[in-house]
Amino acid sequence: MIQKNNFLRYGAFLGIYFISGLLNWAFPQDTTDLERYFPDIQITNSNNPSPGYFFIATKKHFIDTVNYVSIVDNYGTPVYFRLVNDIAAGIQVKNGYIYMLEGPEKVYFKIDSFFHKIDTFKTKGYKLDGHDFDMDRNGHYLLLGRQLRTVDMTQYGGPADATIRDEVVQEFDADKNLIFTWKAWEHFQITDANENSPYVDLTSSTVDYLHANSIKFDSDTSFLLSCRHFDEITKIDRRTGDIIWRLGGKHNDFTFVNDTVRFSHPHTVRKMENGDILIFDNGNLHNPQRTSVVEYRLDEVNKTATLVRRMYHNPGIFAMHGGGEQMLPDGDMLVYWGEESPSFTEYHPDGSVAIEMDYSLHSFASRVAKAAWKHKVFVPATDTINFGMWDGYTEAEYLLTLHNNTDSVLKITGYLTRTDNFSVKEDFPIEIPAHGNKDITVAYYPQNAQTGYIKDVLTIQSEYPHLYLAQQVTLIGKKEDTQAPQATIAPDTANVPRSAEVQVTFSEPVRLADGTELDYQNVDTLFVFKKDGPDGESVAYNANVSTDKTHIEITPADSLDPDQTYFILIKEGLEDYAGNPLTPVSGKFSTGSEITAVLSPGNHEVQVYPNPTEGNLVIKTDLNGVWKVQIFSVPGTLMTEKDHVLGHRVEMNVSRLHPGMYFVVITADGKKIKTEKIIVKY
C-alpha cells in the first residue's frame, strides 16, 4: 500500500527563533516556511524494513532553487530537516558520524550527533570530485579529484588543444597527511573509453573519457575505482599505484561466468563482507536499457567473475545516471535509483521489497544512506513506553523527561502520533532550559482501538524557521480483546491473469501462535499453495508480510499456468496479539486461457486493484515494451498519469483524488488497450 508521510499533516511550523550556537551553517534568509520544501514522500510496500533512519541530501530540487538535508524514519516522518545553500551530496554515516559534501566550497564535512561540523576533508592541489569518499578502519580516507589537461587530439579527429577531464585519487592518513596521489593519465589511455557511449566524443573540444564516480578501499594495500565511461572496475595498488586487474571494458582481465549481460556505465562499486563486489549497473548501453545491482564473486587467481545475482526493480527502471546501493547490518540492501521513480528501495535478502519511498517529482539525492543513528541535541529519558493493559475506563499517564544538551534554551513546539490512542497533555510550545530537564505527560486512552495490541511512535518536535529537529519514542499498550481475527484471500474468481499475486488480508495484526513476529522468512511457511486442490501439485512461492502485520502478498515463483485452478490454504498457527487464534481459511481461483495470437487492443491481460481503493492502485498488464496509464474523471478530465512504463506492473497514488468514480486507461504504441472503471473512496 502507499502511505503519505504524516509530518506535514501534523507539523505546525511556528517560526520561532533559531537556537543560538546550535548549528554553524548558513541558511537562506528569505525562507521561513519549511513546509514549502519538505517532500510529500510516498511509501509503497512497507514490509518490515530494517530499523534506522534514511539520510537524504539533495543536489537538485525540481520545484524550487534550494536543496535540503533530511533524516526520515520508515514512515517518511522527519527527525531532522534543514535547507542548504548550493547543493548537498554524498551523504554517508560511519562510526556514528555523518559525512557529506555541502555548499559552494565543495568539501566533505564530518558532522557529529549535535549537528556540529567538526572536521573537513578536501583534495590537495586538485579540485574535489564529490562523487565519492571512503574511510577505512584506521582513519585513512580516499578522495577523488579532477584535473583538466590540454591534449592534442588531432589523431582522433579532434582539435589540437582539446580539454581532457581527468581524475586523480588521493589517500590521506588519519592526521590528514597526503600519502600519495594516483593520476589516471599515467595508467590509462584516452582510447580506453567506450566510444559507443553517448557521453564520449573523442572529436569534441572537451572529452570526459573516464568519469570516475566511485572509490572504495579493497584491502590494506588496494582500492577499487569505478570508471563509468570505460565500463570498468579497476583494482589499484595503494603502495605503488600499479593496476592489479581490470574488470570489464576493453582491457578486461576476467572471464565472466553465468553472465552474458555484464555491466555498462556503472555508478558505484562496493566490497561486501564475504569478499564479493556489488556494482550499481546503470545499463546505459544494454539492450534494452535497464538498471540493476550486480553481485560478482571474483577468483583473482584464475581471473573469473561469477555472477551471484542481478537485481532488477519490478517494474523495470532505467536510471540514466546516478544511483547506488548500501548493504545494511541485517542483510537488507538499500538501492537508490537516481532521478527515477521510486527514489529508493530497501530489499530483504530474499529479494522481496522491505520498503520503497518516492519523492522523485520533488527532488533528487545523489546518495541515500540508512543507519541506526540519533542526534543528542535533546534526548528523552527512554526510547520505549509500555503502558501495559488498559483498565477499560481511565486515561493512563507516563511522565517522560526530556533533557536539553545545548547551551541555550530549547523549545518543544509540538508532537505527533500515528493513531489517536496516545497523546501529550501539555500545551505547546514548552521550554527546556540550557542543560536542563522538562517533563511531558504522555497519555494512553485506547477507547476507539479495534485491536488488543496497539503500537505507535511519539515524535517530539523542536522547530525553528530554518531547522526542524525531533526525537522519537515507541509507545505500546494493550486492550481487552476476545474477538478472533478474520482473513480474506484474493483473487477468488475465474480468468485471473497468469501474473497474479495472492493477497491475504487480516482484520487485525497477526503473529505466530508462539508469539513470534512475522517476517519475510517465516511467512513463507504459513500457506499451502497447490494446483487443483489440497492434494494437487505444490506451487513454489515467496511471501512477504506488511509492517503492520495485516497483509501478506504471495508471489508465485513462476507465471501461473493457463486454464488452471489454484488452491490456497492459510495453515494453523496464527493469532492476534491478544492470543486469539485464526481459524484456517482456504480459497480458490482459476486462470484464463493462454493467449497465443498477436494481442490486439481490448484482449490484453489487465489487472487493476484494489478496487475500490483509498490510496494505492496497482496496474498489471502483459504488455511488452513501453506503455502508459492515465486516470480520467467521469467528465473526461485527465487527473493523473504514468508515462513511459517499462515492465508489467506499475503503482499509482490516487489518494489526492476526490472520492468517486474514475476511468483507468492503458495505452501502448498510441493505441488504447484497456479501460477499467475504479472507485476512489475515503
DSSP per-residue codes, 142-188: EEEEEEEEEE--GGGTS-TTEEEEEEEEEEE-TT--EEEEEEGGGT-
pLDDT digits (tens, 9 = 90+) for 444-464: 999 999 899 999 999 999 988
Decide if 210 contacts 167 (C-beta within 8 A): yes
Q: What confidence tens digit (pLDDT) does each residue in 230-270 have?
A: 999 999 999 999 999 999 999 999 999 999 999 999 999 99
> What is the fold, at CATH topology level, of the domain defined by 378-478?
Immunoglobulin-like (2.60.40)
Burial of 544 (0-12, 13-18, 19+ CB in 10 A): buried
Which band of pLDDT confidence, cut at 50, 70 and 90, is reported for residue 21? very low
CATH for 606-680 is 2.60.40.3080
Q: Which CATH architecture has domain 487-590?
A: Sandwich (2.60)
pLDDT of residue 604: 72
DSSP string covering 540-571: -EEEEE-TTSSEEEEEESSPPPTT-EEEEEEP
Q: 378-478 and 487-590 share one CATH topology?
A: yes
Question: Which of 71-85, 209-223, 325-339, 622-636 shows the lowest per-residue confidence on average (mean pLDDT)?
Answer: 622-636
Stretch among 25-34, 48-57, 133-142 having the lowest mean pLDDT: 25-34
Place 132 in a pLDDT band, splitting at 50, 70 and 90.
very high
**Which one is predicted more confidently, 10 or 129?**
129
Domain residue ranges of the chain, discontinuous segments joined by +? 26-119+351-376, 122-322, 378-478, 487-590, 606-680
Mean pLDDT of 271-291: 96
> 35 or 467: which carries more pLDDT confidence?
467
Please say whether the beta carbons of 372 and 51 come within 8 A.
yes
pLDDT digit string, tens, across residues 195-220: 999 999 999 999 999 999 999 999 99
pLDDT of 494: 87
Q: Which CATH class is domain 122-322?
A: mainly beta
Given the C-alpha cell 578501499, which residue does it identify?
Answer: 217
Q: With cut-offs at 50, 70 and 90, classify the pLDDT of residue 8.
A: very low
Instruction: Indicate the average pLDDT of the chain.
Output: 89
Predicted local confidence at residue 32, as pLDDT: 38
Q: How confident is the model at residue 365 (pLDDT cuts 50, 70, 90)?
A: very high
User: Are residues 429 and 461 in contact, defined by beta-carbon separation less than 8 angstroms?
Assistant: no
| Better pLDDT: 640 or 16 | 640
Instruction: Render pLDDT for 482-503 as a digit per residue (tens, 0 to 9).
Output: 999 999 999 988 888 888 889 9
Please tell me the least confidently modeled range out of 125-129, 254-258, 408-412, 671-675: 671-675
Q: Quickly state the pLDDT bin for 24 (edges 50, 70, 90).
A: very low
Average pLDDT for residues 632-640, to the nearest whole number? 74
pLDDT single digits (tens) 511-521: 999 999 999 99
In tens, the pLDDT along 596-631 reads: 333 334 457 788 878 778 778 888 888 877 788 988
Give the residue with greater pLDDT, 545 vs 315.
545
Higher pLDDT, residue 651 or 424: 424
Tell me: pLDDT of 364 over 50.
yes
Beta strand 527-531 with 565-570: parallel, antiparallel or unpaired?
Answer: antiparallel
